[in-house]
Amino acid sequence: MQNEEPLIIQNNLLNQQEEIEELNLDYQNYQVVPAEYFAHLFEPSITFNFNKIYLNTACIKKLPSIEYVQLLVNPEERKLAVRPCNEEEKDSFKWCTAKRKPKHISCRVFFGKVMELMDWNCNYRYKLLGKLIKSNDEYLFIFDLKTPEIYVRTIEDGEKPKVSRRPIFPDEWQHQFGLPVTEHRKQMQVNIFKGYTVFGITNKKENTEHKDEQQEH
């Protein structure tokens, strides 16, 4: 499909009798600008916040018949996969409410392990954009832990904690627009049976349900 898209665009332009200059573009020095730099209200995301995680409404809408998922982590590549599964599968958990709303899931141990793996501050909120891909005849969401949006939480004496509404990004992003094209093309190449560890998360009755879209931004 990727090879067909330029042809479709070219044919449309030719139908409009546009004159197109043909160049052999070398992508070697180009960088792909991350989606995190743009508005993404309707993009799949996962959020880590106060010993809880939740996947947003966009994730749930993309897989409308799925109720249970597994979490898989590749510590070496720093990637997290959300794999749809059946309720009876080991380490499965429910990712949404009965009304198909995001479920805030307590996961103190898993939360702590991710904070330690990524050297993140457990008092901050981290949001990751993801993509729905197909791998080994399965659909799953892939999140790159190396590209978080970071919302700093500050605590002042006598006041409630405040979370910044403006995200900050990893330090290495400061001197570049994005990943080189060749590296970017490799980002979503995934084999879920290589290097991934499955994490189980226990659903508890005290998990609270929040209005997802209001709290994500």
- 126, 131, 135: which is closest to 143 by C-alpha? 131
Predicted local distance difference test score (pLDDT) of residue 62: 93
- 101, 105, 94, 99: which is closest to 67 by C-alpha? 94
- On whether the CB atoms of residues 206 and 105 are closer than 8 A, the answer is no
Identity of the amino acid at 76: E
Domain with 144, as residue range(s), is: 44-206
The tokens 């993404």 sit on which residue? 40
| Phi, psi dihedrals of residue 51, rounded to the nearest 5° | 65, 20
Whether 178 is covered by a domain: the verdict is yes
Go through 29-58 and write b for each residue having 16 or more CB atoms within 10 A of its CB, e for each that does not: eeebebebeeebeeebbbbbbeebbbbbbb
Predicted local distance difference test score (pLDDT) of residue 206: 38
| Phi, psi dihedrals of residue 46, rounded to the nearest 5° | -130, 140
CA distance 214 to 217: 6
Predicted local distance difference test score (pLDDT) of residue 183: 65
CA distance 112 to 187: 25
Whether 29 is covered by a domain: the verdict is no
| Three-state secondary structure call for residue 142 | strand
Predicted local distance difference test score (pLDDT) of residue 154: 74
CA distance 51 to 109: 8
Whether 181 is covered by a domain: the verdict is yes
Q: What's the CA dihedral at 211, 213, 215, 217 to 10 degrees?
A: -170
Low-confidence ranges of the chain (pLDDT < 50): 1-4, 7, 9, 204-217
Identity of the amino acid at 206: E
pTM value > 0.95: no
Go through 168-179 and write b for each residue having 16 or more CB atoms within 10 A of its CB, e for each that does not: eeeeebeeeebb
Whether 31 is covered by a domain: the verdict is no
Positive or negative CA dihedral for 8, 12, 17, 20?
negative
Whether 169 is covered by a domain: the verdict is yes
| Three-state secondary structure call for residue 187 | coil
The tokens 């997290």 sit on which residue? 80
If one counts the domains in the chain, the total is: 1
Q: How far is CA 137 from the centre of its chain?
A: 20
Predicted local distance difference test score (pLDDT) of residue 135: 84
